[in-house]
Amino acid sequence: DWTPQSFVEETVETLQTQLGNDKVVLGLSGGVDSSVAAMLLHKAIGKNLYCIFVNNGLLRKNEFEDVLNQYEGMGLNVKGVDASARFLDALAGLSDPEEKRKAIGRVFIEVFDDEAHLIQDVKWLAQGTIYPDVIESVSATGGPSATIKSHHNVGGLPDFMKLKVVEPLKALFKDEVRRVGASMNMDSQLLGRHPFPGPGLAIRILGDLTAEKVRILQEVDFIFINNLRSWGLYDKVWQAGAILLPVNSVGVMGDERTYEKCVALRAVESTDGMTADWVNLPYEFLQKTSNEIINKVKGVNRVVYDISSKPPATIEWE
């Protein structure tokens, strides 16, 4: 019968036979799937696994540094590449959600290809694809985790895509991936992380992006997520985040009227992201969190809570 331990043993053996002394490149996202895939490959081939973690400048506050440190602490051969400026440049002037996604996908491939070229004689591309991704790409909905695959029709194929592909988690569901990670003693906070979209905060800043908007949203999101953790709510929620609305509204501070940004908070329960219900967060939690956001984040004077379920609303606003 299937156990995480036996899966790890068998997979490590298979990978060793399959890969021999070959070099493998893998893009880490900070998410559960790519991290567990990396750990399995690391067990199998050690330093022949070359991990690349790209900062697109659209991650959560402190995420790039924190997660990179964590990966290094796990013994992974990982290179952090800060390409924030390149992504922000490519996004300048774009406000359509699909155009933003395309620009991010394109730059990601460029950056990843440049980095993969620096590794001599790399033979394989590893991916953290899991079973639901396989189904999704068959039904061509272009959903989660499809960052690499869904963009390979943009012009000629980048060199790294000519590599052979290895996908050790391809037969697993998310909960099995988490159990496999736990059986390799991976950090429970890393394994319990909420799903986070590849285009990151770009699709939670409605309309066009600026560095300032990214900063504001990072601050808001940081307060929201930290409060969910400190209230013991984080693990009860499938996914949560904040959205920066393209709306200014009037407020009052001291004797002055303000005209500033509005943010929405979103927290949903789900099992696979296909359907989702908004979470009935305690009023007291919402009250404290809203006060904290408005007091601490300059430029925000109004907070709303999204009470829409999927369908018909999607989880992301773009």
* Start-to-end C-alpha separation, the chain: 42
| Closest by Cα among 223, 244, 241, 246 to 292 | 223
In the complex with ligand XMP, the residue whose CB is nearer, 106 or 123, is: 106
CA distance 47 to 82: 22
Q: How many CA atoms lie within 13 A of 310 on its CB side?
A: 17
Piece of the chain touching ligand XMP by CB under 6 A; list 66-74, 177-185, 192-200, 257-265: 192-200
In the complex with ligand XMP, the residue whose CB is nearer, 181 or 241, is: 241
CB distance 25 to 122 below 8 Å = yes
Burial bucket for residue 146 (CB in 10 Å: 0-12, 13-18, 19+): middle
Exactly one of 4, 80, 132, 143 binds ligand XMP (CB under 6 A); which one? 143
| Binding-site entries for ATP | 29-35
CA distance 213 to 211: 6
Q: Residue 144 interacts with ligand XMP (CB under 6 A)?
A: yes
Piece of the chain touching ligand XMP by CB under 6 A; list 126-134, 139-147, 170-178, 298-306: 139-147
Site string for ligand XMP, 18-57 (x = CB under 6 A): ----------------------------------------
Exactly one of 195, 207, 251, 299 binds ligand XMP (CB under 6 A); which one? 195
What minimum distance in Å lies between the beta carbon of 99 and ligand XMP?
12
Residue 124, beta-bridge partner list: 24, 164
Prior bond to 282 cis, omega within 30? no
Exactly one of 57, 128, 158, 273 binds ligand XMP (CB under 6 A); which one? 273
Helix (H) or strand (E) holding 264: strand 256-269
CB distance 283 to 245 below 8 Å = no
In the complex with ligand XMP, the residue whose CB is nearer, 8 or 205, is: 205
* Whole-Å CA distances, 42 to 54, 76, 183, 184, 277: 19, 7, 15, 11, 37
In the complex with ligand XMP, the residue whose CB is nearer, 15 or 91, is: 91
Residue type, 216: I
What minimum distance in Å lies between the beta carbon of 136 and ligand XMP?
10
What minimum distance in Å lies between the beta carbon of 203 and ligand XMP?
6
What minimum distance in Å lies between the beta carbon of 73 and ligand XMP?
25
Q: Residue 127 interacts with ligand XMP (CB under 6 A)?
A: no
Site string for ligand XMP, 148-187 (x = CB under 6 A): ----------------------------------------
In the complex with ligand XMP, the residue whose CB is nearer, 3 or 314, is: 314
